[in-house]
Homo-oligomer: A and B are copies of this chain.
């Protein structure tokens, strides 16, 4: 049995039952519990499930418990959000992805801004809806449980029909050679379409996400126009991105 095949079966089991036990899987797949443990560890590292003692749980099962928890690295994220605000101006059509940084941006946008926003993210949309002078359009589709964004062909096809002035993308991994990447293909599909649709693309990322890559590529580095981090634009960490032709803010 191939490792990938085994992991795919594990994921299916997790999605159906919400929980899996080492013992069950090891019997069902005829491998040792060590192997199962290692598989679960890998899947957990990719963020596809939550590993717990004795087995693993599906993400949705666990997720509702850390609602209301503090946003990780909030200070950095709100600093990034503040730096992104000047990119927006009245009359623009703006596309915003999901993620804690972009939610924070949506929250702190100036009330007087008159722009039109498209987003697939429920949480971003809720924040944007508080701004009286801007219009928010939520792109409809099937909801991805993990990311709380709408996904699927319908989303992509709506994105094909619009031409936003600016696209604001939050990302988990950016690398100066590879570009931006993610591990959830549903998210990748949507972000790809967002970037292709847009005139300009700005990536928001806290510095620890720099020089990192995951399995699936969203866009090469030269599709990106702006990179916003909490660091000073002169920081040496950002050198490679400048060299690649990105405007670092």
A residues lining the B interface (CB < 8 Å): 2-5, 7-8, 11-12, 15, 18-19, 21, 46, 48, 50, 52-55, 57-58, 60-65, 111, 122-123, 125-126, 128-132, 135-143, 145, 148, 150, 154, 158
Contact A145 B132 (CB under 8 A): yes
Closest B residue by C-beta to A51: B4
Contact assessment for A63 and B130 in the assembled complex, using a CB-CB cutoff below 8 Å: yes
Determine if B52 and A2 form an interchain contact, defined as CB atoms under 8 angstroms apart: yes
Which of B5, B50, B158 is in CB contact (< 8 Å) with A61?
B5
Residue of B4, B62, B63 near A52 (CB, 8 A) is B4
Task: Report the Cα distance A48→B67, complex, angstroms.
Answer: 9
Inter-subunit contact A140/B142 (CB<8 Å): no
Inter-chain CA distance A5–B46, complex, in Å, is 20
Choose one: B7, B46, B129, B142; the contact of A148 (CB below 8 Å).
Answer: B129
A194 CB, nearest partner CB in chain B, Å: 14
A19 CB, min distance to chain B CBs, angstroms: 5
With a CB–CB cut-off of 8 A, which chain B residues contact A12? 64
Check B122–A2 contact: CB distance below 8 A.
Answer: no
**Do residues B53 and A3 form an inter-chain contact, with CB atoms below 8 A?**
yes
Question: Please, how many angstroms separate the alpha-carbon atoms of A227 and B143 in the complex?
Answer: 29
Contacts of A138 in B (CB 8 A): 122, 138, 140-141, 143, 150
Q: Is the CB of A54 within 8 A of B142?
A: no
Cβ of A132 and Cβ of B18 under 8 Å apart? yes
